[in-house]
Amino acid sequence: MSSNKNYSAIPVNEDQPADSTSSVPKSRAKKHLITGVIVCIASAILISSGVALLSRGDKVAPKRNVVMMISDGFGPASETFARQYHQWREDLAPKSVMLPLDEIHVGHSRTQSSSSLVTDSAAGATAFACGLKSYNGAIGVTPTGEPCGTVLESAKHHRGMLTGLVVTSRITHATPASFNAHVTFRDYENDIAEQQIGHTPLGRSVDLMFGGGSCEFLSNATEGSCRGDQRDLFDEAKADFGWTVKRTRQEFDAIRPEDPSLPLMAIFTPQEMTAKALSILSKASKDSDTGFFLMIEGSRIDMAAHSNDPATHVHEILEYQQTAELVKAFVRNNPDTVMISTSDHETGGLTVGRQVGEDYPEYKWNPEVISQVRNSSEVLAGMWNKATESKTATEEYLKTVIIGDGLGVVDPTSDEIKRVMEWDPTKKTVEVLITYLSDIVSRRALIGVILRGSHENTEIGDFIVDYLGLDLKDITNRLTSNSGISSFAKPLDEDYASKISHHQRHHD
- CATH number given to 37-350+453-478: 3.40.720.10
Higher pLDDT residue, 474 or 4? 474
Look at residue 270 and tell me whether its pLDDT is greater than 70.
no
Look at residue 274 and tell me whether its pLDDT is greater than 80.
yes
Look at residue 39 and tell me whether its pLDDT is greater than 60.
no
Look at residue 504 and tell me whether its pLDDT is greater than 60.
no
Please report the pLDDT score of residue 5 as a whole number: 40
302 annotated to bind ligand: yes
% the chain with pLDDT above 90: 52
pLDDT band at residue 60 under the 50/70/90 scheme: low
pLDDT band at residue 420 under the 50/70/90 scheme: very high
- pTM for this model (two decimals): 0.75
Residue positions counted in the chain: 508
- Give the domain ranges of the chain: 37-350+453-478, 366-445
Please report the pLDDT score of residue 489 as a whole number: 53
CB 424 within 8 A of CB 99: no
Q: Which amino acid is at 79?
A: E
Look at residue 421 and tell me whether its pLDDT is greater than 90.
yes
Look at residue 456 and tell me whether its pLDDT is greater than 90.
no
72 annotated to bind ligand: yes
Give the pLDDT mean for 30-34: 34
306 annotated to bind ligand: yes
Please report the pLDDT score of residue 491 as a whole number: 60
173 annotated to bind ligand: yes
Look at residue 57 and tell me whether its pLDDT is greater than 50.
no
Please report the pLDDT score of residue 183 as a whole number: 96
pLDDT band at residue 449 under the 50/70/90 scheme: low
The strand pair at 105-110 and 37-41 is best described as antiparallel
- Alpha-carbon distance of 39 to 124, in angstroms, equals 13
Please report the pLDDT score of residue 159 as a whole number: 95
pLDDT band at residue 51 under the 50/70/90 scheme: very low
- Winning range, highest mean pLDDT, from 123-132, 244-253, 442-451: 123-132
What is the phi/psi pair of residue 333, to 5°?
Answer: -90, -10
Look at residue 20 and tell me whether its pLDDT is greater than 60.
no
Catalytic residue of the set 121, 169, 225, 341:
121
Please report the pLDDT score of residue 50 as a whole number: 29
Least confident of 5-9, 119-123, 289-293, 384-388: 5-9
Look at residue 413 and tell me whether its pLDDT is greater than 90.
yes
Is 20 an annotated catalytic residue? no
106-154 pLDDT tens trace: 788 888 999 998 899 999 999 999 999 999 999 999 999 999 999 999 9
Query: What contacts 124, CB < 8 A, 6 or more positions away?
Result: 32, 111, 113, 175, 344, 345, 457
Q: Which helix (H) or strand (E) holds 166?
A: strand 162-170
Please report the pLDDT score of residue 287 as a whole number: 87
Please report the pLDDT score of residue 359 as a whole number: 76
- Cα 167 to Cα 221, 487, 488: the distances in Å are 27, 27, 24
Before 263, cis peptide (omega within 30)? yes
- Winning range, highest mean pLDDT, from 18-32, 91-105, 184-198: 184-198
pLDDT band at residue 231 under the 50/70/90 scheme: very high
State whether residue 354 is helix, strand or coil: coil
Please report the pLDDT score of residue 44 as a whole number: 25
CB 321 within 8 A of CB 100: yes
- Cα 501 to Cα 113, 135, 187, 284, 346: the distances in Å are 9, 9, 21, 45, 19
Q: Which helix (H) or strand (E) holds 184?
A: none
- Alpha-carbon distance of 73 to 78, in angstroms, equals 9
Please report the pLDDT score of residue 237 as a whole number: 97
Give the pLDDT mean for 327-350: 88
474-502 pLDDT tens trace: 999 999 886 444 445 556 655 544 554 44
151-205 pLDDT tens trace: 999 999 999 999 999 998 899 999 999 999 999 999 999 999 999 999 999 999 9
Please report the pLDDT score of residue 30 as a whole number: 36
- Across all residues in the chain, what is the average pLDDT? 81
